[in-house]
Amino acid sequence: MGANNSYYITTPIYYVNDKPHIGHAYTTLACDVMARFKRLDGYDVHFLTGTDEHGQKVEKAAAAKGINPQKFTDDVSQNFRDLADKMGLSHDDFIRTTENRHKKSVQALWQRLLDAGDIYLGSYAGWYAIRDEAFYAESELTKNSDGKFIAPSGAETEWVEEESYFFKLSAWGDKLLKFYDDNPDFIMPKTRRNEVISFVKGGLRDLSISRTTFNWGVDVPNDEKHIMYVWLDALTNYLTAVGFPNENSDLYKKFWPADLHMVGKDIIRFHGVYWPAFLLAANLPTPKRVFAHGWWTNEGQKISKSLGNVIDPLELIHTYGLDQTRYFLLREVPFGKDGDFSRKAMAQRMNSELANDFGNLCQRSLSMVFKNCDEKIPTPAAFNDDDNKLLNDCQQLLPILRGHLDVQAFHKGLESIWKVIGAANRYVDAQAPWGLKKTNPERMTTVLYVLSDIIRQLAILTQPFMPISCGKILDQLEISADDRDFKNLSNSITSGISLTKPQGVFPRFIEDNQE
RNA sequence: CGCGGGAUGGAGCAGCCAGGUAGCUCGUCAGGCUCAUAACCUGAAGGUCGUUAGUUCAAAUCUAACUCCCGCAACCA
């Protein structure tokens, strides 16, 4: 079992043949925020992302380029590493399914399933579309002018008959239903859980887990005709990354079972059904949660390659800034639901919530400190009720945030922080420190001290969401790197520290005429 | 009758489970302040809570029917 203060979180592995898009960025970003939050909260975190590099599509794409598949995947998996870098992601490991450690791991899991009697050799036949890597029912197909059967996606299909190994998924339905029952939070949000349960109740078919028609995959142990197919290979990466099959490795003992698999809603079934079935069959501990988030639309329109409205996360970062993009994606939509990206909404949140609310709170407060307190954090007199009320609101924030992030309610977490930001802005107006300068300088000093400390706390708490900008605020307050985690929240800021001249951290967004 | 979610002021949402003055954010309008990134604060206007019927002293909240939208329906971010 994973240790109490450990936290293992994963993104799906991304299929290298895709171009990184907002869906990938979104999933990984959510994990990054969770990982950063847990680290600041004192957990030992293992944050995994990576790429899925096998399959017929990759084999064909490589052949089309005249290079071997390994070289091809080396190149394209770099796209995902680049995205991770540009998004400032804090992953601890980047796994590739073509690595040796992974091949060993999947083969070991295969062997366990075989030994347990859950894998058998059979065969199947059906209409297969290479482009989609999918089988279709005859009823779904249409005939084109050449007499070929066309899938709903438009891809040509061919009749395929093939020997294949199967996983006895059909035997696991009742056990899975009991598992969901015993672990009500295993699949979140609830609507996805209901979907999965109703799917399982509908009866499960055995799952084809090998192929003989192409070679780019992990070899099936003791049967060189076969390679493993998709989900057994892909899902097992979560085990590989913590040292499986070595169950005595430090990583494994510390981090398995995983605390959270973050996925898009499109792959909830594989994570919610196949994965626990594999693990139960192999007699391995099951992960604690699979969270399926929603999809984005672009200006109200469904995103699709054919419409050409795919959102490039790098373009967003370039236009709006990294932290701003991170903030928007996690604040705009209740996490778990579908959401819409629009330039108007983006600019709106940037200006209103980042520049006006948070940015301006920092700027107006720290400017007054800098000008009126000898460029130092002032020494306060006794706090009055107003001061204590605000400080107390801020102290309440960490437990509130924990509650929200433990159920991946990022939007609520941010909302609760922004409530305190609002309270702080009202406090500034009510106390009007600029007026106290002549009438009661000691009181002014106290108010500015309170504000400095509030800003320190707010910046510390907001770091998981916007690490760079919060880092800048903490730099301005001369908070050392060691003093930026959550256990420092209850220590007050030290009087007498010299400040650097405050500079705006969240610029307003001015819409270009173009775009 | 396949399963599930949703319809609340201009926009996006909360409230519904445990019925009893309809709340939040943005936008709009008016005022205040002047420390600050034309930022901040206060107030106002604006909704017969998808339709119809029912239960009840009382329904956005419960029941029934209906309309519309959206997910899922086997191997696809």
Across chain A, mean pLDDT equals 89
CA/C1' separation A313–B76 (Å) = 21
Q: Is the CB of A305 under 7 A from strand B?
A: no
Provide mean pLDDT across the span A96-116.
95
Whether any strand B atom is under 7 angstroms from the Cβ of A491: the reply reads no
Task: Reply yes or no on whether the pLDDT at A452 is more than 70.
Answer: yes
Tens digits of residue pLDDT in A210-262: 988 888 999 999 998 999 988 899 999 999 999 989 999 999 999 999 999 99
Tens-place pLDDT, residues A270-303: 999 999 999 999 999 999 999 988 888 887 777 7
Helix axes A410-431, A385-395, angle to 10 degrees: 170
Cβ of A125 less than 7 A from strand B: no
Q: Report CA(A199)–C1'(B65) in Å, whole number.
A: 29
Mean pLDDT on A479-488: 95
pTM: 0.91
Distance, CA of A331 to CA of A355 (rounded, Å)? 15
Question: pLDDT tens digit string along A117-156?
Answer: 999 998 877 777 766 666 666 666 666 666 677 766 666 7
The pLDDT value recorded for residue A2 is 47
CA A77 to C1' B61 (Å) is 52
Specify the pLDDT at position A353: 92
Q: Give the CA-to-C1' distance from A295 to B8 in angstroms.
A: 24
Which residue carries 């969401």 as its tokens? A465
Q: Which residue type does A395 have? A: Q
Pair A461, A498: CB distance under 8 Å: no
Q: What is the DSSP letter of A242?
A: T
What's the CA A444/C1' B19 distance, rounded, in angstroms?
Answer: 50
Nucleotide closest to A424 measured between CA and C1': B40
Question: Alpha-carbon distance A366 to A379, whole Å?
Answer: 15
Backbone angles phi, psi at A292, to 5 degrees: -105, 115
Kindly provide the b/e burial profile for residues A21-40, where b requires at least 16 CB atoms within 10 angstroms of the residue's own CB: bbbbbbbbbbbbbbbbbbbb
Amino acid identity, residue A140? E
Sequence-ordered alpha helix ranges (H) in A87-220? 100-115, 173-182, 190-201
Query: How high is the pLDDT of residue A513?
Result: 41
What residue is closest to B77 (Cα–C1')?
A: A23
Residue A512: pLDDT over 60: no
The full length of chain A comes to 515
Residue pair A410/A36 in contact (Cβ under 8 Å)? The answer is: no
Closest to A278 (Cα-Cα) out of A328, A309, A308, A234: A234
DSSP A481: G
- ipTM > 0.90 for the complex: no
**Closest nucleotide to A434's CA, by C1' atom?**
B35
Q: How far, in Å, are A56, A154, A214, A265 from residue A132 at the CA level?
A: 10, 9, 15, 19
Q: Is the CB of A42 under 7 A from strand B?
A: no
